[in-house]
Chain A
Amino acid sequence: MSVLAWGFDMLLAAGLLWLAWQALFTQRRFSAVVNFMAFYLLMALVWVRLDAPDIALAEAAIGAGVTGALLLTALGRLPAGTSVGADPRRWQRPLQHLAMAGAGMGVIWLAWSAYHLPRPGLAGEVTATLDATGVSHAVTAVLLNLRAFDTLLEIVIMLAAVVLVWSLGPPLGPPLRAFAPATALPGLPALSHLLHPFFVLVPVYLLWRGTHAPGGAFPAGAVMGAGGVLLLLTEARPWEYLRHHRLLLHVLLAAGMALFLVVALGGMLLTGTFFAFPLFLAPTLIMAVEIATALSIALMLMAFYLYGEPGQ
């Protein structure tokens, strides 16, 4: 059995390195993107092998769904023509070797120090305090109670990125409007019609799972965002829709952060500590924050995809 596990891991690592190599050194941009998507698929398997199904879920949702979509649209906005990288000049060669040697040393040092980290880390302490957090899944407890401040900051960073993208003004190139002729591709609307119930159902399921098993707001939001991207790709309606509902859009974008802050400040009023909420309220509050965060993340990912404020 251990031989099989070892063989699987070796095969996985080899495949990962191979795909990374192809993604970095291929001459064609589209080929690089496809390699990157395949790389993410294998990366999810790696997280599974490392016994981290939560990260595997997030990796699957973000990597397979949203990142590929973002990269492909970014590709569409680049000027036409192949992007063969220039050969390095002669004086750049030593620098190149130096950088590669430095990166190699860094990786070895990281592996060495990771090998010497205390095992099993903080898992014991988290399990000991799990009863006081209001949820029964350790990862959710860490993300939304024990280290909720980190999660709040992550949401703030994503919101700041959306504001930044929007503040860049109207996109310079051709208007970013995906084009798919419904007559030539009748399958595309059919695809979105068939899959939409699942794009609503699966995030709800993930949110519900998050209270007691791997799941939670991040994968749920990413799946919902991917569903939104599919909607944007296949139907022209959502653009108009967003224009008429700009206030709602803004409120929903900030909902995760706002609710998070309200909960944190409320905790300060009730117990005197920032982000400390009473145990009897904790499950409800965590669920509410998760739902708001998932909605915000979904809309943020769609906002990244649009590259500009809709309706402008």
Chain B
Amino acid sequence: MTEALHWLGYAFVAAGILFFLAGSLGLLRFPDVFTRLHALTKADNLGLGLICLGLALQASGPAEAVKYLLIWLLMLVASGIGATLIASTALACGLAPRQADRPPSTSTSQRPTEQ
């Protein structure tokens, strides 16, 4: 049973590191601050959550496991609320979210709303 839990823990930690890598790919490639916010608050926190979960599965006692999960919870609160704070601050500074370039077909599909 503990053996299986350990292996499950390894899998979770590995998946968490993968999510971290995906998050920094987003930080590198995404075009503006609003999209980067998504990359960070979602991917990186999921990564941290998976690592915490994996380590909690391997923890020696429940107190230790609870501490891992508490760290994840605190980080979720900080970055979940922080994302809305940063986004509204960026909007207040006059940064507009980047819109996709509309091909002509979409502009024709919008015509009914203009009438």
Contacts and interface: CB of A to CB of B under 8 A. Distances in A.
Question: In the complex they form, do A and B come into direct contact, defined as C-beta atoms under 8 angstroms apart?
Answer: yes
Interface of A: 184-185, 187-188, 190-191, 194-195, 198
A191 B81 contact: yes
Interface in B78-105: 78, 81-82, 84-85, 88-89, 92
Q: Is the interface of B mostly helix, strand, loop or mixed?
A: helix
A188 B83 CA distance: 11
B81 A190 contact: yes
Contact of B77 (A184, A188, A195): A195
Nearest to B87: A187
23 contacts: A184-B88, A184-B92, A185-B85, A185-B88, A185-B89, A187-B81, A187-B82, A187-B84, A187-B85, A188-B81, A188-B85, A190-B81, A191-B77, A191-B78, A191-B81, A191-B82, A191-B85, A194-B77, A194-B81, A195-B74, A195-B77, A195-B78, A198-B74
User: By DSSP majority rule, is chain A's interface helix, strand, loop, or mixed?
Assistant: helix
Contacts of A195: 74, 77-78
Of B74, B78, B85, which is in contact with the most chain A CB atoms at under 10 Å from its CB?
A: B85
A194 B74 CA distance: 9
A198 B73 CA distance: 11
Nearest to B81: A187
Nearest to B80: A187
Contacts, number: 23
Nearest to B70: A198
Interface of B: 74, 77-78, 81-82, 84-85, 88-89, 92
B21 to A, nearest CB: 16
B94 to A, nearest CB: 14
A18 to B, nearest CB: 16
A252 to B, nearest CB: 27
B36 to A, nearest CB: 15
Contacts of A190: 81
A12 B74 CA distance: 25
A110 B82 CA distance: 42
B92 to A, nearest CB: 7
Nearest to B92: A184
A190 B84 CA distance: 12
A195 B78 CA distance: 9
A187 B83 CA distance: 9
Contacts of B78: 191, 195
A28 to B, nearest CB: 15
Contacts of A188: 81, 85
Given A185-B85, A191-B85, 13 more contacts: A185-B88, A187-B81, A187-B82, A187-B84, A188-B81, A188-B85, A190-B81, A191-B77, A191-B78, A194-B77, A194-B81, A195-B74, A198-B74
Contacts of A185: 85, 88-89
A187 B88 CA distance: 10
Contacts of B82: 187, 191
A195 B85 CA distance: 16
B72 to A, nearest CB: 13
A191 B82 CA distance: 9
Q: Which of B81, B82, B89 neighbours the largest number of chain A CB atoms within 10 Å of its CB? A: B81
Contacts of B77: 191, 194-195
A99 B81 CA distance: 46
A197 to B, nearest CB: 11
A191 B75 CA distance: 12
B17 to A, nearest CB: 15
Contacts of A184: 88, 92
Q: What 8 pairs across the A-B complex have the smallest Cβ distances?
A: A187-B81, A187-B84, A191-B81, A187-B85, A194-B77, A184-B88, A185-B85, A185-B88
A278 B13 CA distance: 50
A198 B77 CA distance: 12
